[in-house]
Amino acid sequence: MKRFLLNTLYILLPLLLIAGIMEVLLQHIPNDYKYKKEYLEKNAENIETLILGSSHAFFGLNPIYFSKKTFNTSNISQSLNYDYQIVNKYLNNSTSLRTIILPISYFTLFGKLEEGEEAWRVKNYVLYYRLNTATKLTNYSEIFSNKFTVNFDRLYAYYIKNESSISCSTLGWGLNYKSTNAQDLSKTGKIASERHTRKDIHSIESQIIFNENITILQSLIEWCISRNVNIVFITPPAYKTYTQCLNKEQLSITVETMNDICSQYPNCTYLNLLNDTNFVAKDYYDADHLSEIGAKKLSIKMNEILNTQLE
Amino acid sequence: MLFNSLEFALFLPIVFLLYWFVFNKHLRLQNLFIVVVSYIFYGWWDWRFLLLIAFTTFCSWLSGVLIQKYREKRESNPTQINWAKVVSATNIILNLGILGAFKYYNFFVNSFVEAFASFDIHLQPTTLYIILPVGISFYTFQALSYSIDVYRKQLEPTKDIVSFFAYVSFFPQLVAGPIERATNLLPQFYSKRTFDYDKAVDGMRQILWGLFKKIVIADNCAVYVNQVFDNYEVQTGSTLLIAAIFFAFQIYGDFSGYSDIAIGTARLFGFNLMRNFNFPYFSRDIAEFWRRWHISLSTWFRDYLYIPLGGSRGGKWMSVRNTLIIFTVSGFWHGANWTFIAWGAFHGLLFLPLLLAKKNRKNTNIVAENRLLPTPIELFQMGTTFLLVVIGWIFFRADSIADAVNYMQGMLQFGTVKAFYRILELKEFLFILILLVVEWLQRNNEHGLESFENFGKVFKKNKFMRILLYYTILCLILWFSGEEQQFIYFQF
């Protein structure tokens, strides 16, 4: 037995050492989540407008176009449970916060990060935001959350090529979706709409997720009421190649639900900009994400709404 | 808990150390420990179904005890009702009832509704939201085999409930087999296990080979296969053919990989599980394929269905009928879909000509025995058998029979063979080639890394070279690990 254990240990030890070193090095690489968490820790007191949500907000709302002190804490595929936990943990004692902007996209009420293709991102909330959202052991680790080659590429890019690993501006807006490298709108419209459409919205799984999301929204609204904070829900603009392929029922449930919620709570406003004709092809990076041109347009529009209608 | 997960990587060494260093003094305690860790292993997926497996296990154990009791009573009073038979039948009905309710209820309801709809009678069905318990078909069959063996007097019933619970829930093979027989596995819980270095090392090698097959072969092929099967209407014929071949290796890597990890893990704990795969893609005919593919299920159906139905004792047509029945039922065992039934029936039809010509036991030896390469005839036989198996897999993988037929029609497009060379450009092809070469060299052994004699003297004599080989496989596993996919056979 002793011989077996020693031999196994000798063979596995180099691998365990490499794994340990990789884990430490990966966790030391700066990233958007770490940056945003640190920003919130230092500046939560001063933030007046907070942007939450998924990639639609991350790339679509640039805080520099807002007249009040604004920070974008959204991230790719960030679902409502993470939005609520971030607010609850990092802005609980904020006295300046007046408005939260929360995008309710076509898929928001029918999905959550843990069950999609982007589930590997859960580790970012566990490791960097320090939220208790882990659903499995791999959520506590960088190396086990991604493929080995992805981790290797990240280490190589940061430590050898000295490339920046931060992909957001100082105020949290996503920098990578530029008009200069815009994607094919008709192709991405079809793919994204398929990805965002729930296969069976009447299934019990879909209903469970939907109900969970509504409960989270209500908790967030209650949280805001107790702190005298307004919430503006927006369904962000998308290009026609995307909107034309959407499931009408899923979309109408989303819109009706948000209208219902906003009619119940005085601190809530809902803006459906999905088919806003002010946004044209050149405003988009792909069929459902704005480029920096579109982001400027949407941010200015949102700022006007906040300053006029909600004042 | 998946074998290729971080959870299992932590679970296994902890259980191993506790098993050999803490619980090895008392056999009963060690068996109880196996039950506890097996239930943790299973409950990791969904703890609610622990009650179901415990209930199934208890009923089968109780049926064994009662069968014995009533048999003894009847021996002293032969005029009494055969309660042993009643108990055995009740246990079979109960187990199959649970399996049917969880696995087949919605299928039967929907099939009836569709059948009535074709006569313009539209029923309002009541389908249920049922989560299929992982591995239910495997542990149900394992529990069933015990009570049937007891009834047939092939096995003494056990009064040791802990050993019986350990036998049904033994975590290495609980969710995807091999489907063990009580006659093989249960007695191993009665006697003290001793640690065997060679056995444990071989177990580790088999685990490593199983991980290679699962992570490098199956998970990488799965990405290609899923993309093609999900949009097969827009694919070229050659792409469809490549995806069908990749699926053959995906399912082999996935399922035989699981079996290798299961058998290897059991060896670490001093247990011998039955062999489940014997290099099936080197078969020269369909009959040989079925002696080499999912052996524990094929022999289960042979012993508990084919033989009770009369086997081949009633003449040629009885054999034909029984063969078709077991192949079809075996297909249905895999899942509640007509595609699985079609897959089983297809194999049954392929088997029949061999049976009628009495050539179904022609190829019982190892192909190209004592030779490095096969003869051209053997190569042709293996190639045609493989192609027939691939056609069967299309039914198995497709969502419906119509999809399977359309897929095959698409495969027959002009230019399929011409553009087939593209397979050489895919990394999955390289992985498959490695698998085939290693398994061809090891085809007289139980698994791909069992013996180093076939790899050359340098591996046999030099420990450093062997360690280098382990590291090469580990690096391949790490570097080419694809998207993590659940084991296909978990759903059965």
Q: Chain B residue closest to A202 (CA)?
A: B129
Which one of B6, B20, B195 has the shortest CB-CB distance to A144? B6
Give the per-residue pLDDT at B341: 94
Q: Is B481 within 8 Å of A3 when comparing Cβ atoms?
A: no
C-alpha span between B5 and B211 (Å, rounded) = 11
Q: What tens digit of pLDDT does each residue of A3-14 get? A: 999 999 999 999
Which one of A4, A11, A144 has the shortest CB-CB distance to B470? A11
Give the per-residue pLDDT at B115: 77
Q: Which of A2, A4, A126, A207 is the best substitution to test chain B (most B C-beta atoms within 10 A)? A: A4
Give the per-residue pLDDT at B416: 65
Q: Chain A residue closest to B470 (CA)?
A: A11
Judged by a CB distance cut-off of 8 A, whether residue B478 touches chain A is yes
**Distance from the A2 Cα atom to the nearest Cα atom in chain B, whole angstroms:** 9
User: In terms of Cα–Cα distance, which of B88, B42, B410 is closest to B229?
Assistant: B410
Q: What is the pLDDT along chain B (492 residues), one digit of tens a residue?
A: 888 888 999 999 999 999 999 999 899 999 999 999 999 999 998 888 899 999 999 999 999 999 999 888 888 888 888 889 999 999 999 999 998 888 877 777 777 777 777 777 777 666 666 677 888 889 999 999 999 999 999 999 999 999 999 999 999 999 887 999 999 999 999 999 999 999 999 999 999 999 999 999 999 999 999 999 988 888 888 899 999 999 999 999 999 999 999 999 999 999 999 999 999 999 999 999 999 999 999 999 999 999 998 887 878 888 899 999 999 999 998 888 899 999 999 999 999 999 988 888 888 899 988 888 999 999 999 999 999 999 999 999 999 999 999 999 998 876 666 677 778 778 889 999 999 999 999 999 999 998 887 777 777 778 888 888 899 999 999 888 866 656 666 655
Q: Is A148 within 8 Å of B197 when comparing Cβ atoms?
A: no
Which one of B129, B197, B479 has the shortest CB-CB distance to A3? B197
Q: Is B20 within 8 Å of A8 when comparing Cβ atoms?
A: no
3-state DSSP of chain B = CCCCCHHHHHHHHHHHHHHHHCCCCCHHHHHHHHHHHHHHHHHHHHHHHHHHHHHHHHHHHHHHHHHHHHHHHHHHCCCCCCHHHHHHHHHHHHHHHHHHHHHHHHHHHHHHHHHHHCCCCCCCCCCCCCCCCCCHHHHHHHHHHHHHHHHCCCCCCCCCHHHHHHHHHCHHHCCCCCCCCHHHHHHHHCCCCCCCHHHHHHHHHHHHHHHHHHHHHHHHHHHHHHHHHHCHHHCCHHHHHHHHHHHHHHHHHHHHHHHHHHHHHHHHCCCCCCCCCCCHHHCCCHHHHHHHCCHHHHHHHHHHHHCCCCCCCCCHHHHHHHHHHHHHHHHHHHCCCHHHHHHHHHHHHHHHHHHHCCCCCCCCCCCCCCCCCCCHHHHHHHHHHHHHHHHHHHHHHCCCHHHHHHHHHHHCCCCCCHHHHHHHHCHHHHHHHHHHHHHHHCCCCCCCCCCCHHHCHHHHHCHHHHHHHHHHHHHHHHHCCCCCCCCHHHHC
Structure tokens at B484: 């993590």
Question: Which residues of B are less than 8 Å from A137 in CB distance?
Answer: 5-7, 10
**Is A293's pLDDT higher than 90?**
yes
Give the per-residue pLDDT at B186: 94
Q: What tens digit of pLDDT does each residue of A125-163 get? A: 999 999 998 888 889 999 999 888 899 999 999 999 999
Q: Is B481 within 8 Å of A147 when comparing Cβ atoms?
A: yes
Q: Which of B26, B122, B334, B447 is catalytic?
A: B334
Judged by a CB distance cut-off of 8 A, whether residue B195 touches chain A is yes
Judged by a CB distance cut-off of 8 A, whether residue B197 touches chain A is yes
Tell me the average pLDDT of chain A.
Answer: 93
B334 tagged catalytic: yes
B 451-470 near A (Cβ less than 8 A): 467, 470
Q: Chain B residue closest to A141 (CA)?
A: B6
**Distance from the B7 Cα atom to the nearest Cα atom in chain A, whole angstroms:** 7
| ipTM, interface predicted TM-score of the complex | 0.79
Q: Is B481 within 8 Å of A148 when comparing Cβ atoms?
A: yes
Give the per-residue pLDDT at B426: 82
**Distance from the B484 Cα atom to the nearest Cα atom in chain A, whole angstroms:** 9
Q: Is B7 within 8 Å of A137 when comparing Cβ atoms?
A: yes
Which one of A137, A149, A203 has the shortest CB-CB distance to B6? A137
Q: Chain A residue closest to B215 (CA)?
A: A147
Q: Chain A residue closest to B463 (CA)?
A: A7
Q: Is B197 within 8 Å of A4 when comparing Cβ atoms?
A: yes
Question: Which residues of A are less than 8 Å from B200 in CB distance?
Answer: 4
Give me the domains of chain A, ranges plus CATH numbers.
Answer: 2-308 (3.40.50.1110)
Q: Which of B4, B5, B6, B427 is the best substitution to test chain A (most A C-beta atoms within 10 A)? A: B6
Q: Which residues contact B433 (CB under 8 A, 6 or more apart)?
A: none
Judged by a CB distance cut-off of 8 A, whether residue B44 touches chain A is no
Q: Is A138 within 8 Å of B6 when comparing Cβ atoms?
A: yes
Judged by a CB distance cut-off of 8 A, whether residue B204 touches chain A is yes
